[in-house]
């Protein structure tokens, strides 16, 4: 499953990332991690203090990747609207949900300040990054002058995260897509 050049610690982190997304923290057992990573029984404790330490490394990696993806889109070319549109329309595995957002529904992650912190920081960072793009568009006359960047950013995040929930509940990405289309029609520059 993993490249033979990938170190054992990397295989453990990647396995944990996948399992957290699929099963949540409680469903991600050390045995499942080791099996998915193709690692020996003592490997996890050789490289990490235990499951919480490994989960933290996995959550941080997932958060870093999400931030990089978002920055590539929101920091890329195009008008403010086009960048928000690109963020909303980017390719996603809608039925699996957001690998960071799903962690907010995991009671074990939320109960741990250490595990919750990179989740909270990443969501706050995405919100702030979206708000800055919206504010830029508002100042350039692209968005209505009364729009508040922070509020629009919160709405964008709520649409994405809520869209994942609706899509998963219905078993179809149609609800996600409808929410995105609706939000984009509300944000579309008037001209």
**For residue 1, pLDDT beyond 70:** no
Q: What is the pLDDT of residue 53?
A: 95
For residues 55 and 76, give the distance between their C-alpha atoms in angstroms, rounded to a whole number. 31
Report yes or no: 109 and 118 within 8 Å, Cβ to Cβ: no
Only one residue has tokens 């003592």, namely 42
| pLDDT tens by residue, 95-135 | 999 999 999 999 999 999 999 999 999 999 999 999 999 99
The model's pTM? 0.91
Q: What is the pLDDT of residue 72?
A: 98
Report yes or no: 186 and 180 within 8 Å, Cβ to Cβ: no
For residues 107 and 87, give the distance between their C-alpha atoms in angstroms, rounded to a whole number. 28
| pLDDT tens by residue, 35-90 | 999 998 888 888 999 999 999 999 999 999 999 999 999 999 999 999 999 999 99
Instruction: Compute the average pLDDT of residues 3-12.
Output: 84
Q: What is the pLDDT of residue 2?
A: 62
Report yes or no: 102 and 109 within 8 Å, Cβ to Cβ: no
Three-state DSSP at 124 gives helix
| pLDDT tens by residue, 14-29 | 999 999 999 999 999 9
The CATH code for residues 59-187 is: 1.10.357.10
If you ran DSSP here, which 8-state letter would residue 142 be given? S
Q: What is the pLDDT of residue 191?
A: 59
Q: What is the pLDDT of residue 4?
A: 65
- 3-state percent breakdown (helix, strand, coil) of the chain, nearest 5: 70, 0, 30
């Amino acid at each position: 499953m993993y490249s033979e050049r990938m170190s054992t610690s990397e295989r453990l982190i990647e396995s944990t990332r996948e399992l957290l997304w699929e099963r949540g923290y409680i469903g991600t057992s050390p045995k499942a991690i080791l099996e998915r990573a193709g690692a020996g029984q003592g490997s996890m404790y050789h490289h990490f203090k235990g499951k919480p330490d490994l989960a933290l490394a996995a959550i941080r990696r997932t958060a870093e990747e999400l931030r990089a993806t978002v920055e590539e889109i929101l920091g890329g070319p195009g008008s403010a609207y086009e960048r928000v549109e690109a963020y909303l329309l980017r390719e996603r595995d809608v039925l699996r949900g957001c690998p960071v957002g799903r962690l907010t529904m995991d009671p074990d992650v939320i109960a741990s300040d250490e595990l919750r912190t990179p989740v909270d920081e990443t969501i706050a960072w995405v919100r702030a990054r979206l708000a800055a793009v919206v504010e830029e568009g508002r100042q350039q006359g692209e968005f209505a002058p009364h729009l508040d960047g922070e509020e629009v950013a919160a709405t964008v995040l709520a649409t994405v995260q809520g869209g994942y929930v609706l899509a998963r509940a219905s078993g179809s990405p149609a609800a996600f897509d409808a929410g995105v289309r609706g939000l984009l029609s509300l944000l579309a520059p008037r001209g």
